[in-house]
Amino acid sequence: MPHWRRVQAVRPFIEPRALALLLVIAACGWIFMGVADEVMEGETHALDTAILLALRDANDPSNPLGPRWLEEMVRDFTALGGFGILTFITFAVSGLMLLHGKVRTTLFLLASIGGGVVFSSLAKHLFDRPRPDLVPHDSFVTSASFPSGHSMMAAITYLTLAALLARIEPRRSIKIYLIGLACLISGFVGVSRVYLGVHWPTDVLAGWTAGAAWALSCWLIANWLERAGEIEPEVREVTPTTDHPD
């Protein structure tokens, strides 16, 4: 039996990593639908209002809590979820992957993030939730509120980039670092949207879960495409072995 056939024969139909991804994707989808249902019924308004006002000066709702430098720093964080920054980072990482010779993986990356943009836009048009009107907006906005586009696109972009970059990095520690960094940035972006008064907290929660579900689905599809030979294989860390004399 050829070597590649022996390898395929011992691989399970659904690998543990793929099963774990499916479970997390399902959990994210369940949370998103639950939040969306509660939002549409108005059940989250009291909680949303309490959290939003808790981040404002009680005597002056137009003034976010904290010093001026904190407000300015939060604006920097929110910019990490802006369309221009996300586009630049996406093409920058695509260039890096091309330099590594991962042409098909790069095309898959661009399709994944491009599809995420369409997904985010459709979700906003579908729910069409008004923006918070309790406090002044400290950032310019034009679209609907639910789900948070910055939070959703940050999760989609940074998690997808991290997952696909991890495929060309053999060291497990760096793979974990990339995923962790993507989660951290997505978290900062989401919190900044609430702090600046341009989103309800449930908008951000929905954006995080929908974005994570999309990015993890792309990661899962990448694994399946690798098994089908459609994209370049993941680079895996090689455990050194010690040859013992007979």
Question: Among 3, 45, 137, 199, which one carries the catalytic annotation?
Answer: 199
7 pLDDT higher than 50: no
Q: What is the pLDDT of residue 138?
A: 57
Q: Which of 36-40, 132-136, 185-189 has the lowest mean pLDDT?
A: 132-136
Question: Where is average pLDDT lowest: 1-10, 19-28, 145-154?
Answer: 1-10
Mean pLDDT of the chain: 84
104 vs 141, more confident? 104
The pLDDT of residue 2 is 42
Q: Is 199 a catalytic residue?
A: yes
Q: What is the mean pLDDT of residues 103-130?
A: 90
**Peptide bond before 147: cis, by omega within 30 degrees of 0?**
yes
d(CA 164, CA 175): 10
* Three-point CA angle 55, 59, 61, nearest 5°: 45
Q: Where are the domains of the chain?
A: 16-55+64-227
Catalytic residue among 3, 100, 137, 150: 150
Query: Is 203 in contact with 44 (CB distance < 8 Å)?
Result: no
pLDDT digits (tens, 9 = 90+) for 125-184: 888 777 777 766 656 666 677 888 899 999 999 999 999 898 888 888 898 999 999 999
* pLDDT above 70 coverage of the chain, percent: 87
Q: pTM of this prediction? A: 0.84
Q: Does pLDDT of 11 surpass 50?
A: no
Q: Using CA atoms, how far apart are residues 64 and 233, in angstroms rounded to an integer?
A: 48
| 45 a catalytic residue | no
Query: pLDDT, tens digit, for every residue of 50-73?
Result: 988 888 877 877 788 888 899 889
Q: Where does the pLDDT of residue 243 fall: very low under 50, low under 70, confident under 90, or very high at 90 and above?
A: low
| Per-residue pLDDT, 156 | 94
Query: Residue 5 has what pLDDT?
Result: 41
CB-count exposure of residue 79 (10 Å: 0-12, 13-18, 19+): middle
Residue 170: its pLDDT value, please? 85
Share of the chain above pLDDT 90, in %: 43
Cα(181)–Cα(186) distance, rounded to whole angstroms? 9
